[in-house]
Structure 1
Amino acid sequence: MRDVQDVRWDRLVPALELPHHGGVSSMPFLQEAGGGPMSSAAKRVPAAPPRPLIAFMFNTTRRYSGPAPLAFSPDGSTLAFVSPKDGPAVVCEVPVAGGEPRTSFAIEGAAAHGLSWSQSGDLYATAHRGGTERWQVYVRRPDGRVQDFAVSEGDRVQHHLSRYATSPDGSLVAISTNSRDAGDVDVAVVDAVTGRQRLVASGPAWHVAGGWSPDGRWLCVMRVAQNTDQDLLAVDLDSGELAELTAHTGEMQNVPAGWLADGRLLAITNNGSEFLHLEAIDVHSGDRRVYDRTDWDVELATTSADGRGVVWSINEDGYSRLRWRLDGGAAEELATDGTVGDIVLSHDGSRCAYTLSPIGRPVEIRVLDLTGGQDRLLVRGEALPRYPPRPESIRIPGTEGDIPCYVYRPAGPARRFPAVLVVHGGPEGQSRPQLTHGLSAALLDKGVAIVVPNIHGSTGFGKSWQTRIHRDWGGIDLADLRSIAGWMRTQPDFDPERLAVYGGSYGGFATLTCVTRLPEYWCCAVDVYGPSNLVTMLENDPPNWRRWNKLWIGDLETDREKLIARSPITYIDNVRCPLLVIQGDNDPRVPREESDQVVERLRALGRPVEYLTFEGEGHGFSRRENQVLVHERTTEFLERYLLD
């Protein structure tokens, strides 16, 4: 049994603005990139060693079947949640009636991520080390013992939990694993006592467990082709037979959202629609019936283990609206002044816990009583000294439709503000109307405006808007970025000589695209682990990403010339402004080579570039001192060029 540690539960989420959060602890390590320039942008580099990871890249704003950072105890009296401490994230508990949170358990040297609490009292958690996203599963037994549950030596084989991974009686746990083949992800059921695994869905695809039927007979499995194309299967655990429930042509989203009490599967889908809605599917006949549909996306949905309770969240122009039904009754709803990040129901469906990022307040965990509709605060995250104001929601004219955008303007007398364009990751993510982060608040407080768009590829604005960027990175997004930059330059209260661009992951790609292909607009830029070379990015793909990125970014065999033409590294000679590059050494999604190329080329050209790297961090920065250092260096860099 591992020792229980104290936790700063008020650090429910990091208080600093980072494009992603993940990874595990390390002291900051400043490092200069070495080596000379590439002889050409198309130059091949040796492929990196295979990285057989399960890095669940499903839509970043929708985590229906992904890992849940919240879990109710079997009797509904306690809520478990994941919270970062000064090091890796740990599992905490808090009485649902109210009280002080405490540490439940920590996994030595690893950051906890997803949770599932079985009816038998076992609390399961996924965790990874060093930012590698090589997930393993651990369990805390009812007597307090913490054990390895699905763990491979050296984290070679990956294991991951989905929401409601445990069977109704707690005897089985459904996990995703690449034990059969590093390039595929299968679903196995694991005996909760012996740990014996049995594959129930496998093949050349990514499979994700999607929850158990209330009677325990069926297990839903999602087969993923890409972010915008999934199929749902129902596995008969008695016979082992697979029922195909959502066969279709073309692209269609079908994401499991739990089971109803009558035995039908609930799914989030855009079947016959531009927007995501809820449908109930009969596992015997395949009959599909609309459960709820609006003119906005359903972003999250889940059911209780017995199917009596259903809660879902609707994304209305970036703001979340909760809806719920209990025992098949009429739908009720609650408007939130912010965005919902996760939803979980008690086993009997009487209570819902959810995370909320509200306007002007710290992140919260709240509890909603489905029987009476009472909503109350349970845990509040660490408070910032100040919060950004409510943004103005606008539409900027673009070449292929108006671009949704949030604009934050500093308080005080009217004047010409410097401004920062902040591009979200994904690209199939979404910027939402709250900035609960220190960087944004600090910049606004110093008189810097912030422009936060949802360019083509973003979710929340329909299937066509999202899929338009597929195999067109550096195309439609470049057109959108040009439109936004032009709009910023013509605003009477923006200083056209003091415009900056900032982004992480895909947002880093957009940042590099801006400074290499639209260099006349920017006085400085910050790239946080952004892809710079689409050719090397695809060459260094982990095995189980290759089929995705072929459909998503492009095919190395047939699209090489286009990929070169769309890569920021091809135009690196055009960079005019100072650039800050930030990278984790262990990043499995955007390898360090992508940032190294940029820094090496710019230094060879004699251009101003600063490089901040972190040993033992991945696609995000988990250790507190690393987060602080990123915040301080980024703020200082932007202020130096925007305010001095």
Structure 2
Amino acid sequence: MAADARNQLTDESAAPAPVRTTARPATAPVVAPVADAAGPRDTPRPRVAHGCWYPSPDPRGEHVAFICDRDGAPQLWAGPVGSDDAHLLDTGPDHVTEVSWSPGGEWIAYTVAPGGSGHTRVLCVRPDGSDRRVLAGAEPGRSAYLGCWARDGSALAVTVAEPVGERAGPLTATDRPPGWTERDGHATLLDGIRPGGAGDGTTAPVRDRLTAYLVDPAGTTAPRLLADETGAATLRVCDISQDGRLALLRRGPRARREAVVVRTADQAPTCALPVADGDPWIGRFSSDARTVWLRSNHDREFAALLALRLDGADERKDLGVVVARDGCDLELLTFVEGDRRAALAWNDGGTSVLETLPLTAEGSAPPALREVPLAHEVVTRVTAAGPHGMVVALSGSRRRPGVWAVPTSAPPARTPWSASDAASVPRGLPPAPPVPLRATARDGLLLGGWYHRAPGRSPGEPAPCVVHLHGGPEEQERPVFDPLYQELLGRGMDVFAPDVRGSSGWGRSFVDADLGEGRFAAIDDVADCATHAVASGFADPQRLAVMGHSYGGYLTLASLVWHPHLFRTGITVCGMSDFATFFAGTEPWLAESAAHKYGHPERDSALLRALSPMSRVDELRVPLLAVHGEHDTNVPPGESEQIVSAARARGLVAKLMLLRDEGHDFRRADNRRLFRRAAAEWMQRWLLG
């Protein structure tokens, strides 16, 4: 079957070149024109099943730049709101991940992930596809991330990430902490000291430096430094005040994000406030820079819209809640109609509620919320479209992602270049909405989730069931169309997609419930969810399987070795199998963030060993399929390689499937189809065979 094919990595990708850095000043990015990507820019004949997402309109709201995979990979497109005459702006092979049209309309900025890896770079292009240039991230060993535009469109904020400290190759046996497993890649001991790190007989840690700049896309003025942090987990410039004096930054590890106001003249912070995880665009300054509107869960269980008021020294004066909804997170916050209204997307148990409300300069809001009707269940992005409207990206249980125009005085309308509901799914089984299913953990915690029932089965008939676990762990299962689920359902298997503890959408306490020793309870949650599906009459207890992506892949492996008799098979996708090797090989910035969530690789080494599936691999009893992107820099492919090798050494059926030109997320249409079919065939073999 397809899963038998394994594409070997090259020596170059398996052994990154050493990086030698000391406490030197950061090097500003250099704007460099690049050749136009080869190939036609005429609109190709669209694939029947395609999605459009991450829209960014021009200043007049007449055209929209967006990401679309109609040509087989996520690429940069643009088109008028009322016509299907969309066209490619960059025909290159690199996956596009974010898009931002400049306030003046002259440029479209976007982030690409070469080879699907996590080493991203930021580019700009003219709206007609000409004058393409790289702004940051092209230098070896660096990555760059998109920030906001200056209000006048003269410059774009970018964040540049680069390793600092000494990296001279893999750790030796004497360098590794107890239980450390040899593997390729650099070490990311967050507080670890490497001998000779500074090159002068002293020592230096291997960390990550994140530096934010304002960059002129035309290259006529030098980049301007906004922030510089070593050992940071994240750093994004979310807004620049109208007068250019202040910048709003989002920084910090997962579950400990914070908004920071800094003076652009000297990069000095003036105040900070905790903010919620999720969408990185956390807020915006009012026109007079005396108020900062924030999406925050500060001192709250669920995120709300807060108004942070600044005094004459740009420090915190007072803080107030503008609007909140009981039991709902404010998931997306955007400002429309010339910043006169806020657009608020609330997460209500997994589905979205979109509202707008007027704002005042004093930071108060009249009780004039206006709900926007939605054609589908989940809002993934909201952006202003000219002075009187907005553009909304939607996903739903019956369609692939699409973009809707929302005029102020008219109902939402699907953009013509977004696939219709009927054309969103290939011919065959029509998609059906899942039903919510709440399970109770053994310690009494209420868990969320959605159950997808295969068609044609009577209500009381127990079915073979695949428990699918999302990543994060702070992600959340949503009632949206998933081609993988559709493939499994079409072969007669149900899918239960639960939110175990650590997932978002159910409050801050729920997100933090898996920290430290709580991760053992998260592993038990998987078993409790499977048991609940059986007790509800949906699932056949003799035909259960488990699979998941990223953290869900880790949780899959953990469930198989902690509950070895519950599932008949499992599929881990880009999942961690050993926390020691994960921290040794992952990106430094991700290690900084993951240490808070999973544990510190040195201080918590005993806990991490106990939580690692490799430490209990002798308990594995069932066939295992591992799938990985060859360019995954978040969770290196060695995590799958070592668990498959260990399973085979114990006489178990175990397969490894490496997808070429993919990273942590599979984005190419051909690879996605290959993965879906291989996964469905594997499940069909072991659950139905």
TM-score range, shorter chain: 0.7 to 0.9
Task: Quote the offset at 1:368 in angstroms.
Answer: 1.3
Shift in alpha-carbon separation, 1:89–1:447, aligned structure 2, 3 A: closer
Structure 1 CA distance for aligned equivalents of residues 100 and 510 of structure 2: 34
Identity of aligned residues (%): 25
Does the alignment pair 1:402 with 2:446?
A: yes
SS in 2 for 1:441: helix
Structure 2 CA distance for aligned equivalents of residues 425 and 446 of structure 1: 24
- Partner amino acid, structure 2, of 1:365: V
Structure 1 segment 479-558 matched on structure 2, within 5 A: 479-558=524-603
Tell whether the 8 Å contact from 2:570 to 2:624 is kept in structure 1 after alignment.
yes
Show the counterpart of 2:285: 259
Question: Which of 386, 391, 403 is matched with 2:434 structurally?
Answer: 391
**CA distances 1:338-393 after superposition (whole Å, capped 9, x unpaired):** 11111111253x21111111232332211112x32521111433511334422222
Shift in alpha-carbon separation, 1:107–1:151, aligned structure 2, 3 A: farther
Q: Which moved more, 1:248-257 or 1:535-544?
A: 248-257
Tell whether the 8 Å contact from 2:466 to 2:546 is kept in structure 1 after alignment.
yes
Question: Which of 332, 355, 359 is matched with 1:300 structurally?
Answer: 332
Shift in alpha-carbon separation, 1:249–1:358, aligned structure 2, 3 A: closer
Structure 2 CA distance for aligned equivalents of residues 282 and 463 of structure 1: 24
Show the counterpart of 1:341: 380
Structure 2 CA distance for aligned equivalents of residues 147 and 315 of structure 1: 38
Question: Which of 244, 268, 271 is matched with 2:295 structurally?
Answer: 268
- Partner amino acid, structure 2, of 1:149: V
Task: Quote the offset at 1:271 in angstroms.
Answer: 1.5
Task: Quote the offset at 1:415 in angstroms.
Answer: 2.2
Show the counterpart of 1:75: 60
Does the alignment pair 1:597 with 2:642?
A: yes
**CA distances 1:181-200 after superposition (whole Å, capped 9, x unpaired):** 57021211112322621211
Structure 1 segment 312-323 matched on structure 2, within 5 A: 312-323=344-355
Question: Which of 139, 156, 168 is matched with 1:173 structurally?
Answer: 156
SS in 2 for 1:289: strand
Structure 1 segment 132-531 matched on structure 2, within 5 A: 132-141=117-126, 144-162=129-147, 165-178=148-161, 181=164, 183-194=208-219, 196-204=222-230, 205=232, 206-224=234-252, 226-237=253-264, 239-247=265-273, 256-261=282-287, 263=289, 264-284=291-311, 285-286=315-316, 287-295=318-326, 296-304=328-336, 306-326=338-358, 328=360, 330-336=368-374, 337-348=376-387, 350-369=388-407, 371-372=408-409, 374-378=411-415, 379-381=417-419, 383-384=424-425, 385=427, 386-398=429-441, 399-412=443-456, 413=458, 414-434=460-480, 436-472=481-517, 474-531=519-576
Tell whether the 8 Å contact from 1:533 to 1:567 is kept in structure 2 after alignment.
yes
Shift in alpha-carbon separation, 1:180–1:428, aligned structure 2, 3 A: closer
Provide the TM-score with structure 1 as the length reference: 0.84
Shift in alpha-carbon separation, 1:581–1:427, aligned structure 2, 3 A: same
SS in 1 for 2:259: strand
Which stretches of structure 1, 4 residues or more, deviate above 6 A after TM superposition?
46-52, 248-255
**CA distances 1:503-528 after superposition (whole Å, capped 9, x unpaired):** 11011011111111111111121111
Structure 2 CA distance for aligned equivalents of residues 555 and 47 of structure 1: 25
Identify unmatched segments of 5+ residues in structure 2. Answer: 21-52, 165-206, 361-365
Shift in alpha-carbon separation, 1:51–1:485, aligned structure 2, 3 A: farther
Task: Quote the offset at 1:131 in angstroms.
Answer: 1.7
Task: Quote the offset at 1:427 in angstroms.
Answer: 0.5
- Count matched residues: 584
Tell whether the 8 Å contact from 2:110 to 2:146 is kept in structure 1 after alignment.
yes
Structure 2 CA distance for aligned equivalents of residues 367 and 564 of structure 1: 50
Which one scores higher on RCO, CA 8 angstroms, separation ≥ 6? 1
SS in 2 for 1:112: strand
Task: Quote the offset at 1:72 in angstroms.
Answer: 0.9
Task: Quote the offset at 1:488 in angstroms.
Answer: 3.2
- Partner amino acid, structure 2, of 1:409: R
Shift in alpha-carbon separation, 1:149–1:572, aligned structure 2, 3 A: same
Task: Quote the offset at 1:175 in angstroms.
Answer: 0.9
Identify unmatched segments of 5+ residues in structure 1. Answer: 1-26, 35-45, 53-67
SS in 1 for 2:305: strand
Structure 2 CA distance for aligned equivalents of residues 94 and 28 of structure 1: 39
